[in-house]
């Protein structure tokens, strides 16, 4: 299934929906977060027979507009190596020991086709091409062998980054801070794992998906990678994130940037830092396209 949270002009409230063919069928939940909190929510979505709308009639929001938390990992080795090499740094040996992450802002979430404000005071706006999973039920100390069963679905994630802010943040050894917390885009919808089964190999720690990931600016491709090249699988990330901590339905876990998935890695000789008016499209095979305009 492809699941959405959407709004239409006639309805001020938001609604969850399921995509069928070229229509969105309305579900009896205000957002997907409420659907996931209902143990019967996904089953209800499969049997939905609510009012139908064409895509041009609705405004898609982030699939989870108000996630309880957003963790962003650092799980693609190529990105980590390349980004560090650009700064004259070697790999950190500890990176190979744990799938590290940071918490980002869960209040500045944008959906497909929603304009993203340029961060005031920055001159180095970047993107990060990522895939994210959304947790479908609560769990703590989740074994890696069981972790995949906690995934409600996958979506595209753009971890917008103000690199000049981030550069100062990181010198203080406490995380990205203001370099990241102004915007995260998610969308266009949540794709349940069964929809991607044909792309999957392995299980638990070895689970991988052969999904092409690419980024375009104003219609020009600037990045291409593949989800299968990830070093840490989502089951490994879930097991680590849930150690001594409860994951909740609706929590978002980002993969970190796929190799070549940002200007920090590619270099501004490939494309200058993004500006107001630029249209960024992130596409992942089997999921779709996440599009935002910088304003």
Give the tens place of pLDDT for each residue, 74-106: 999 999 999 888 888 899 999 999 999 999 999
96 CB contacts (<8 Å, ≥6 apart)?
A: 231
3-state DSSP call for residue 1? coil
In DSSP terms, 6 is beta-bridged to 15, 60
Q: Residue 189: pLDDT above 80?
A: yes
Q: What is the Cα–Cα distance from 295 to 164, expressed in whole angstroms?
A: 19
Average pLDDT over residues 134-155: 98
Q: What is the Cα–Cα distance from 79 to 169, expressed in whole angstroms?
A: 19
Q: What is the Cα–Cα distance from 124 to 162, expressed in whole angstroms?
A: 6
Q: pTM for this structure?
A: 0.97
What is the pLDDT, as a whole number, of residue 197? 98
State percent of the chain over pLDDT 70.
100
What is the pLDDT, as a whole number, of residue 220? 98
Q: What is the Cα–Cα distance from 254 to 103, expressed in whole angstroms?
A: 10
Q: What is the Cα–Cα distance from 165 to 124, expressed in whole angstroms?
A: 8
What is the pLDDT, as a whole number, of residue 11? 75
Q: Residue 123: pLDDT above 90?
A: yes
- Element holding 238 (H helix, E strand): helix 234-241
Question: DSSP character for 228?
Answer: G
The per-residue DSSP string of 168-194 comes to HHHHTTS--GGGTTT-EEEEEEEE-GG
Query: What token pair was written down for 64?
Result: 């989870």
Phi and psi at 155, nearest 5°, equal -145, 170
Q: What is the Cα–Cα distance from 32 to 90, expressed in whole angstroms?
A: 42
Q: What is the Cα–Cα distance from 30 to 129, expressed in whole angstroms?
A: 28
Within 49-163, strands assigned E span 52-54, 59-60, 70-73, 101-104, 109-110, 125-126, 129-135, 139-140, 151-158, 161-162
């Amino acid at each position: 299934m492809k699941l959405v949270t959407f709004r239409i002009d006639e309805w001020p409230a938001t609604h969850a929906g399921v995509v069928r063919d070229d229509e969105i069928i309305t579900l009896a939940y205000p957002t997907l977060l409420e659907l996931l909190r209902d143990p019967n929510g996904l089953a209800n979505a499969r049997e939905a027979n609510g009012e139908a709308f064409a895509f041009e009639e609705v405004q898609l929001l982030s699939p989870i507009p108000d996630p309880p938390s957003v963790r962003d990992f650092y799980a693609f080795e190529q990105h980590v190596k390349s980004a560090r090499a650009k700064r004259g740094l070697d790999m950190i040996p500890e990176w190979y020991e744990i799938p590290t992450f940071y918490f980002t802002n869960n209040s500045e979430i944008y959906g497909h086709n929603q304009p993203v404000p340029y961060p005031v005071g920055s001159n180095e706006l970047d993107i990060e091409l990522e895939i994210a999973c959304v947790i479908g039920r609560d769990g703590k100390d989740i074994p890696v062998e069981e972790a995949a069963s906690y995934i409600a679905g996958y979506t595209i994630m753009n971890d917008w980054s103000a690199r000049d802010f981030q550069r100062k943040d990181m010198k203080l050894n406490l995380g990205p801070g203001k370099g990241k917390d102004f915007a995260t885009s998610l969308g266009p919808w949540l794709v349940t794992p069964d929809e991607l089964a044909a792309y999957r190999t392995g299980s638990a720690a070895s689970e991988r998906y052969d999904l092409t990931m690419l980024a375009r600016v104003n219609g020009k491709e600037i990045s291409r990678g593949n989800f299968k090249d990830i070093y840490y699988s989502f089951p490994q990330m879930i097991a680590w994130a849930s150690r001594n901590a409860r994951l909740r339905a609706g929590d978002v876990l980002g993969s970190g940037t796929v190799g070549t998935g940002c200007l920090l890695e590619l270099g501004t000789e490939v494309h200058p830092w993004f500006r107001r008016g630029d249209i960024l499209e992130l596409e992942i095979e089997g999921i779709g396209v996440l599009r935002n305009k910088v304003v």
